[in-house]
Amino acid sequence: MGIFFGTDGIRGIVNTELTDSLANSCGNALGSLKPKNLIVIGRDTRLSGEYLTCSFSTGAMSAGANIIDLGVCPTPAIAYLTKKIGADFGVVISASHNKMEYNGIKIFDNNGLKLGDEREANLEKKFVSKVNMPTHKIGRFKQEFNLVSEYVKHLQSACKVKLDGLKIVLDASNGACYDVAPKVFKGLGAEVIKINCQNDGFKINENCGSLHPEKLVKKVLSSKADLGFAFDGDGDRIIACDSTGKLLDGDLIVYVLANFLNSTNSLKNKIVVGTQHTNMGVEKELNNLGLDLIRTDIGDKYVSQKIEQMGLSLGGEKSGHIIIREFTTTGDGLLTAVKLAEICKTLNKSLSELANIKLYEQVNIDYISKDKMRVINSENLINAIEEQKNLNPDARIMVRVSGTEPKIRIMVESKSLDTASICAKNIEKVVSSIDQTEE
């Protein structure tokens, strides 16, 4: 990670960490990378989206880049359309699952792939020196909101069956999928029930969507729906719900997809990409199918990089970033929802039947830290983690800093919930002690 770029682009509270000046500098740096850059830009629904779009675009245009503004659209739509129309870069103004006061900047290259750490670091170096082209070389700006319809057609073409007869609840988290998701599923013949599908800049991710699927479960049960899907604010994550109210996180979704792709001889090299957070139970079940799991660092760009390096078909994170490489280069919640519905329709089975596997118990604690880097590098914490590993040899322990928030993330996994809980709480106590101790 760089100074400004975290695990998923630049992220921060608007006009505190993420200012219009920073957005302008980022746009200027990106716009200066080559003559007459063509940059596609889109955003989620949050209030600050237009503000930061203008700041970023002004910076890029000052360096001579041309901008195509797609308006409100999901992150994966930007990745897809950047490559389709031959743009040099795609930019998303979004803070994904974060609260409305946050926003962020994500960047895709001309192949629809997120910039790696090295390219982000090199881009940051250009923030300090601004490029101002003479008047006749300043870039142009135009809006092409209708281009998003090409993404809708792309998703519909990825489904090989009609979804008539399926009743599906969609929770768009009042975010970027608010309009696109219902269009996709209605076009495929499904009966759609919408919740949290408003273009309201104040309500994005507010007790809804993939981080708060309780309303989705309630609506699926009350409406007797076959399926329910909850997305995050920018549409690159998904949590699924079956007709019984059972929730499927990214780990279970990856298992369902891997099993189906393997059965149709579509899973390249019989390898699935996960992360350090992927449940051990999923890994064991994949192994039982004759499949291997490769783990990467947390972050869907690392999953994507491994898929590209090895020429693989599928990868994902527990959080719900799922990459189905035949159709996309990045996490795409809506595409994943379409493929899950297709599998259920094709096999005439419910999601709970398809995901009937035993997971390990997993305890996750997010500790809000005053100085997360000081805590994570503390020798006391390193020693505490080793001590807990020695005391609980069957537990898998992971402690890391959030790449997008001021948090220390603690994950402990074990066959025993008590073991996982006690171990996680012991580590949290040490984290808290370090964080509250003055240097």
Q: How far is CA 56 from the centre of its chain?
A: 22
Alpha carbon distance 38, 90 (integer Å): 9
Residue 413 β-bridge partners: 362, 396
Work out whether strand 322-324 and strand 314-316 pair parallel, antiparallel, or are unpaired.
Answer: antiparallel
- Burial class from Cβ neighbours inside 10 Å (0-12, 13-18, 19+) for residue 153 reads exposed
Q: What DSSP line would sit under 281-312, residue for residue?
A: HHHHHHHHTT-EEEEE-SSHHHHHHHHHHHT-
pTM of the model: 0.90
Of 105, 96, 132, the closest CA to residue 19 belongs to: 105
The single residue of 25, 48, 55, 96 carrying the catalytic annotation is 96
Q: Nearest CA to 14 among 92, 98, 126?
A: 98
Q: Based on the residue annotation, tell me whether 94 is a catalytic residue of this protein.
A: no
Rounded to whole angstroms, the Cα distance separating 132 from 389 reads 55
pLDDT of 2 reads 64
Residues whose CB falls within 8 Å of the CB of residue 412, separated by 6 or more in sequence, listed in order: 362, 363, 388, 392, 395, 396, 397, 398, 419, 420, 421, 423, 424, 427
Residue 284 Cα distances to 99, 248, 270, 293, 294, angstroms: 35, 17, 14, 9, 12
- Residue 243's closest CA among 354, 144, 324, 347? 354
Amino acid (1-letter code) at residue 187? G
Question: What does DSSP assign to residue 7?
Answer: B
Comparing C-alpha atoms, which of 220, 20, 187, 208 is closest to residue 105? Answer: 20
Do 251 and 359 contact (CB within 8 A), yes or no?
A: yes
pLDDT of residue 437: 84
Phi then psi dihedrals of residue 400, to 5 deg: -150, 165
pLDDT for position 319: 93
99 vs 425: CA distance, rounded Å: 26
Q: Go through the domains of the chain in sequence order and give each one's CATH number.
A: 5-148 (3.40.120.10), 164-354 (3.40.120.10), 361-436 (3.30.310.50)
**Tokens encoding 128:** 């300090």
- pLDDT (tens place) for every residue of the chain, 439 residues total: 567 888 789 999 999 999 999 999 999 999 999 998 999 999 999 999 999 999 999 999 999 999 999 999 999 999 999 999 999 999 999 999 999 999 999 999 999 999 988 999 999 999 989 999 999 999 999 999 999 999 999 999 999 999 999 999 999 999 999 999 999 999 999 999 999 999 988 999 999 999 999 999 999 999 999 999 999 999 999 999 999 999 999 999 999 999 999 999 999 999 999 999 999 999 999 999 999 999 999 888 899 999 999 999 999 999 999 999 999 999 999 999 999 999 999 999 999 999 999 999 999 999 999 999 999 999 999 999 999 999 888 889 999 998 778 899 999 999 999 999 999 999 999 999 999 986 6
